[in-house]
Structure 1
Amino acid sequence: MSTTGTSATAGKMYSQLIDDGGPGDERRTDGHHRGFPVSSLRLPSGPGLYRLATVCLAALCVVLLISIIAVTARHKNKPQAGEEAASLMQKGEANISALTSNIMKLKQENKQLQEDNQALKANLTTIMATKGKTKPPAVCQTDWHLFNNSCYLITSLTRNWEGGQTYCQGQGGHLAIILTAEEQTFVWNLLPRGFWNAYWFGITDGETEDVWKWIDGSPLVGGFWEDHEPNNHINEDCGYMIKTMVLERVATKSWYDAPCYMSLPFICEKKLGL
């Protein structure tokens, strides 16, 4: 027997059971079931039933296929997400390392700046402490010439020896006191050349003959006398130096004695700070 015939027979039997309610069906009342027509409760039969089953099965397959695709895609995306996470973590670690390095560098620079600041403060303290003790550079007045810590004036005025001393005192100094060959050479080089250019300086033996003293009372030691000088030829008690046109003459042999009343130009000396 064919499948079609079997299906039709089964459908008829099921229809009869529904219609008749079967033996002993106590729920049947005047051809109606609880007020509803029994004939209206019929299921599809024949080819329609198989079509319905086929549609349901196809729908189930589609749902299953979609689920499989979704699960597969999810599993495929997991490694990619893991790789992205790993890449982000590596970048984060690199950024942290760079920031740490910059922080350490800034700390070192800050430490160096603090050390430099301390050194500058120390230098400033030293400068401030010595500021009041620092002496200004030595400067002489106009027409005065500096040597060591003294200024020298070569005058064009003429006075006797005592008059020259008085003038120098008025300038804050005294007739020159010359103690070393270097000082003698310096002063002598300031003198102009002439036939017999003679200049008083601060030496005399007016108190005791042949006992030469400086204007401040200190004794003469050595000196830069010309040969055979001093000779006290005509009561010569004051000293002067000359610079002539004779080039062979030298500074360290230029002192002579002469009478103190003679009128000559003179050399003043003034210590700086006085």
Structure 2
Amino acid sequence: AMSYKEGKFTNLIDEPDNECSSPEVRYSVFQNPFKRTQFCQDPFKVATACLTAFCLILLMILVATSAHSSDQDSPSSAAESHMQKGSANVTDLTEELQGVKREKSELEKELTQLKNKITELAINKQYLLHFITLKYLVFLEATTAPQTTPAPTKNPCPEDWKHFNGSCYYVSEYQRSWSDSQTNCKRQGGHLAIILTAEEQTFIWNLLPRGYWNSYWFGISDEKVEDEWHWVDGTKLVKSFWEDGEPNNHGNEDCGYIVKTDVLSRVATKSWYDAPCHMSLPWICEKLVSS
């Protein structure tokens, strides 16, 4: 019975045909049962380890190839960088050269201006020396010539009358109508002023004081015929010195008067106005020196 059982049990055990059934393995398993289990039951771990080692080898090859490639590319990159720096330096030098040229042009202009100024100063110096020489000669002539005191000229006109070109002129301080002013002038041997030239007009105008509206009768009117102006001696007006827009006969204005104001832009040759003859104004008399 025992043999049968042993044979039966023996037949039930199918020993695998592999290296794990070898006597050496069996012996090793007997000695260390865990070694057989680890080696025979995990064959995939061996494959995994091999693949891992292969991947590491490939990775090392790739790293070495990349390093070699970067070593080959680095000279090209360095050359390109050097060329860019060189181009930037050329641009900077070009701009600097242009700036130097502009400064040179400005300096040349300033030099030309200074030369012109020096020439101008030299010319002015010559003129100044010439002027000083002339002044000195005049001074010498004046100091060496005999001194003579000119005799004072006697005023041919009465007191308070001013002389000009053979006539005497008087500016009154009182006010009368135009006809009363003419009567007063006749009593003094004259008449209201008759003004024939610009020089005479300017002389009389300079005798008048300035003021807001200083006005004085003189010897002209158109009382007989409107717009036909005559002097008090009956002669017709030829040359006149009316202000622009005058005479305008505003309100029956038939007599002429001269105005001098504080406005410095006014001129003597545009100072005549017309006004009603009954107005009270100061007047200007005229008479010949012989009178």
Give TM-score scaled by structure 2 length: 0.47
Give TM-score scaled by structure 1 length: 0.50
More helix by share: 2
